[in-house]
Amino acid sequence: MDIHEYQAKEILAKFGVTVPQGGLAYSPEQAAYRARELGGDRWIVKAQVHAGGRGKAGGVKLCNSEHEIQDATNEMFGQKLVTHQTGPEGKGIYRVYVEAAVEFDREIYLGFVLDRQSQRVMIVASSEGGMEIEEISAQRPDSIVRSTVEPAVGLQEFQAREISFALGIPSSLTQQMVRTLQGCYRAFRELDATMVEINPLVVTSDSRILALDAKMAFDGNALFRHPHVAELRDKSQEDPREARAADRGLAYIGLTGNIGCIVNGAGLAMATMDTIKLAGGEPANFLDIGGGATPERVAKAFRLVMSDENVQAILVNIFAGINRCDWVAEGVVQALKANPVDVPVIVRLAGTNVEEGQKILAKSGLPIIRANSLMEAAERAVTAWQNDRKQNTKMRAV
């Protein structure tokens, strides 16, 4: 789960990270009022969306008067911000964050991520801040500092000092940098985060270490331990299909293809998508219905997949170990009878009670295409999708 910049800053500030003063606004008038509260004569207005690259896309504006703030926010509110991370559909702007402008001497990149290879928290930092880490890696690879934290002892002060020295932080600011690093690590560890990023972390003209921007992402499976973090979720920033799936306990990721997938198990779901690609098709989604694939759960999955208007065929691939193929077959039949679909449906069942499941599908009288192997199911799904598309094209031509 991602959260907004202002939310990440509020969290990090509680862990000792210094952040600029700012205020949230839901209208141009409120944004101008926030500027008056902050004082000063220059402010930064930032669109609050779950995406990086806001500055290049026009989502960050420097304003020198309340009138400029109102003009800038008038252009932002209700618009879609399109960055390299959002895709062409963009993210809606419904709130902005107003901060007093800060004079700084240098920018630093700082990130905390899970390193799967070492199974540790990895600190990635660079003396070249202000741009995406991918750009830094490509243009300034020598500037990147990496340090792995031993989970048994956490981030020690000597390790934080080493990172500070490697980044060229003045000795007079070392203790501030240590406090910032340790605060980020504690927030990461205690809140079950998967990523903490500050870009840029700046050294100000009055000798402060300040987080000008902040991002945090959290492990959705651990949110039950942190209800105050779960409350920060903003569904307006999520794919509506993925939000609906999460609310129904389904693991779903929307893609851009035409063949919808209903699968049990994340590994099998990945293999199913790969096989569809191998057969010449494009998967429309990743969907793992989990171990308890009851008829009701399968019916929910069908409704979710069909909510994507790009779907032109559905492939159901179930390997029943914990599941039962007859349950899944009943779910498929119930779903199609309650909500008939006008696209081909291909079903491959294997495992527990597979014979009973096949009999249920055969006796249903529904036009379900059955397959015995994953490759056969993928090939039949691609063929059915292609034939259906050709027929629809002919009907439009007539």
Task: Give the pLDDT of residue 144.
Answer: 87
- CATH number of the domain residue 228 falls in: 3.30.470.20
**Would you place residue 396 in the very low, low, confident or very high pLDDT band (cuts 50, 70, 90)?**
very low
Please confirm, yes or no, whether 242 is among the known catalytic residues: no
Phi, psi of 75, rounded to the nearest 5 degrees: -70, -25
Spatial separation of the C-alpha atoms in residues 192 and 189, rounded to whole Å: 5
Task: Give the pLDDT of residue 133.
Answer: 74
pLDDT value at 247 more than 50: yes
pLDDT value at 394 more than 60: no
The stretch 86-114 carries a mean pLDDT of: 91
pLDDT value at 140 more than 80: no
Q: Minimum mean pLDDT among 213-222, 235-244, 257-266, 386-395: which range?
A: 386-395
For 84, 276, 295, 317, the CA distances from 376, given in Å and listed in that order, are 37, 10, 24, 11
Residues 227 and 328 occupy one common structural domain: no
pLDDT value at 135 more than 90: no
Q: Minimum mean pLDDT among 132-141, 202-211, 279-288: which range?
A: 132-141
In a domain, 85, yes or no: yes
Residues 71 and 116 occupy one common structural domain: no
Spatial separation of the C-alpha atoms in residues 199 and 145, rounded to whole Å: 15
pLDDT value at 70 more than 80: yes
In a domain, 77, yes or no: yes
Which residues contribute to the annotated binding site? 46, 53-55, 99, 102, 107, 199, 213, 264
Catalytic residue among 197, 242, 330, 379: 197
In a domain, 263, yes or no: yes
**Would you place residue 398 in the very low, low, confident or very high pLDDT band (cuts 50, 70, 90)?**
very low
Q: In which domain, by residue range, is 212 found?
A: 1-19+103-238
Which residues contribute to the annotated binding site for Mg(2+)? 199, 213
Q: Contact, 51 vs 85, CB < 8 A?
A: yes
Catalytic residue among 5, 6, 97, 109: 109
3's CB contacts (< 8 A; 6+ apart) are 11, 50, 216, 217, 218, 229, 232, 233, 234
Residues 61 and 180 occupy one common structural domain: no
Smallest CA-to-CA distance from 210 within 396, 377, 44, 33 is with 44
Which residues contribute to the annotated binding site for substrate? 264
Please confirm, yes or no, whether 197 is among the known catalytic residues: yes
Spatial separation of the C-alpha atoms in residues 244 and 287, rounded to whole Å: 12
Average pLDDT, whole number, for the chain? 88
Structural domain count of the chain? 3
